[in-house]
Structure 1
Amino acid sequence: MVEEGPLPVTGDIDLAGLYTTLKRVFREAGLPTPDLDARLLVIETLGVSTAQLIANPRLPISEELARELNERARLRLSGQSIGRILGRRAFWSLDLRLNRDTLEPRPETETVVELALSLLPAVETPLLIADLGVGTGAILLAILSERLNAFGIGIDIAEGALREAERNAERHNLADRAVFAIGNFGAPLAPVFDMVVSNPPYVATATIADLDPVVRDHDPRLALDGGEDGLDCYRTVFSQASGMLKPGGTLIVEIDPAARDAVIAVAEARGLSVAAVADDLNGDARAVAFRFA
């Protein structure tokens, strides 16, 4: 049985009434982007456009659709993100589907894509790219969408994530240049890659409880938990680097800005040196590129 939600679902229901009520409820609940959240849920659930919100406010809405919107509003108020509720998330120029085994892609991860594109050689010969912990396929597919001469492999330990990444590649007509395989980061790979990218789990185990509930309660723990100090997965990836990168190849990882120096120290202990550091839109170090000296 659907729990009671904040919206009217019987009687005379129109578009403006639902939209106005939803914005008010989200504002009163203290959501960070109440108007945007309300607009996205209304548009996606009711099948209307932004223009219709303005031009046709008295559009009658069926009880069935009102109940669906009511349930989605309840989920948002319970702490689920809009992406989790709708089952998809925009990333780069892509619309990516999510499932319970995938981390929800976030804007700061686009920093990895930007850094990768800036460092990939401008050549017409094929490039080989690997994405470790591929999840939805966000990083790999964004790069492939911009580099038509690139081919990639996505590795993940979660079979559900791999299936979703495959489906996302198909949705964006990239399946002919992307393959996906199960594995522990770079363990299945050979030293043939021009570039390896990764957004590994990097939250210290003890601090997971302190995360925003949107992340803590709905992203898979496997994609969050980086061990006691948050660096376990970096140690694994850096130890595998020589078995993945071809001579002159580049390894790029996303980091917690607060762990920049610690991540670099782990990399340098494995013979890697910093090639570039990229800041996110907040001005925080978010991606680091390494090469062997």
Structure 2
Amino acid sequence: MSAPTAAQAMAAAAARLRAAGVPDPARDARLLLAHAASVDAARITLIAPEEIAPEIAERFEHLIALRAIRVPVSHLVGQRAFYGRDFKVSADVLDPRPETETLIELALADPFERVLDLGVGSGCILVTLLAERGEARGVGVDMSEAACLQASANAVLHQVAGRAEILQSDWFEAVEGRFDLIVSNPPYLAAEEMAQVAPELARHEPAMALTDGADGLSAYRVIAGQAQGYLTAAGHVMVEIGWQQGDAVQQIFRDAGWGRVTLAQDLDGRARVITASDPA
């Protein structure tokens, strides 16, 4: 009996993933076969008619088995695309999300020389901003030592390590100096929301990056209450929020004395980024 072709293997894998409740199973099957075969995903159609070598079939089977139990594709291939760059990821950090690119676009709309990223995680925000602004320097902080190591590795990968300082810190605890821009994608899920999150998040991403274990607003209270001590006179803060948190987070910043607070939506029209400036 001949070995299955790549097309047949992908179809069978997609059916298996669909039965396991995996969203977009055909895409995942294609990406994982490309990884198993060490080819670019865009070239999969070229090898579709060909029989799969036994060693590739074995690797593919292993990857599909893990994906069926909802291990994220990014963890299986070791990276996730964000703003045109591939970032190394692991179970120690939150996967970069497409909606976070809204924060990047807004941040790049104004000049900055020094940027602080609170809760740096994979480093996708800080590293992207430094890569896009060749003269800028930045600091990224995270409570997780493993996240700091991951961010440092991505800074090296994208050749900004000489302009990025990564520190283990509980928010502003280890931060010194002032910044033109402070950014953060903090844990914003309320504790009660964790029961509804996808298995990929609940089982395979760090809980401390997803939720504060309370009402989902704790980080914004810290940032709104302390960021003014770390900003330059014309500096501003940008934070990503949950799509239902727009009013609450704006009020937190206003109550903390910030004179200008605005809300921006992502490409899906959902509340996504709060910008605050002119602190009291």
Quickly name the TM-score band, shorter chain normalised: over 0.9
What's the counterpart of residue 258 of structure 1?
A: 244
Q: Deviations over 1:224-275 (max 9, x none)?
A: 1223211111111222212211111111000012111111111112111344
What's the counterpart of residue 8 of structure 2?
A: 17
Paired residue secondary structure (1:165): helix
Rate the CA distance shift 1:167–1:262 in 2: closer, same or farther, 3 A.
same
What's the counterpart of residue 134 of structure 1?
A: 120
Q: 1:47 aligns with which of 38, 52, 55?
A: 38
Rate the CA distance shift 1:147–1:60 in 2: closer, same or farther, 3 A.
same
Rate the CA distance shift 1:163–1:25 in 2: closer, same or farther, 3 A.
same
What's the counterpart of residue 80 of structure 2?
A: 89
Q: How does 1:1-293 map to 2 (within 5 A)?
A: 12-50=3-41, 52-120=43-111, 127-293=113-279
Rate the CA distance shift 1:51–1:150 in 2: closer, same or farther, 3 A.
closer
Distance 1:203 1:251 in 2: 20
TM-score (normalizing by structure 1):
0.89
Deviation at residue 70 of structure 1 after TM alignment: 0.8
Distance 2:19 2:91 in 1: 29
Paired residue secondary structure (1:59): coil
Paired residue secondary structure (1:200): coil
Q: Deviations over 1:209-237 (max 9, x none)?
A: 22121111111011112232111111112
Moved more, 52-61 or 206-215: 52-61
Q: Deviations over 1:133-181 (max 9, x none)?
A: 0000011111111111111111000000000111111111111111100
Deviation at residue 57 of structure 1 after TM alignment: 3.1
Deviation at residue 41 of structure 1 after TM alignment: 0.6
Q: Deviations over 1:6-31 (max 9, x none)?
A: xxxx9624323212222333344443
Give the alignment's Cα RMSD to 1 decimal. Answer: 1.9
- Does the 8 Å contact 1:15/1:59 carry over to 2? yes
Gaps of 5+ in 1: 1-9, 122-126
Counterpart amino acid of residue 96 in structure 1: F
Distance 1:275 1:164 in 2: 32
Deviation at residue 109 of structure 1 after TM alignment: 0.9
Deviation at residue 50 of structure 1 after TM alignment: 4.7
Deviation at residue 191 of structure 1 after TM alignment: 4.3
Q: Deviations over 1:23-75 (max 9, x none)?
A: 33334444321221111111111123456533343434332321221111111
- Count the aligned residue pairs: 279
Rate the CA distance shift 1:111–1:52 in 2: closer, same or farther, 3 A.
closer
Counterpart amino acid of residue 34 in structure 1: P
- Does the 8 Å contact 1:252/1:287 carry over to 2? yes
Identity of aligned residues (%): 35
Gaps of 5+ in 2: none
- Does the 8 Å contact 1:99/1:160 carry over to 2? no
Counterpart amino acid of residue 108 in structure 2: L
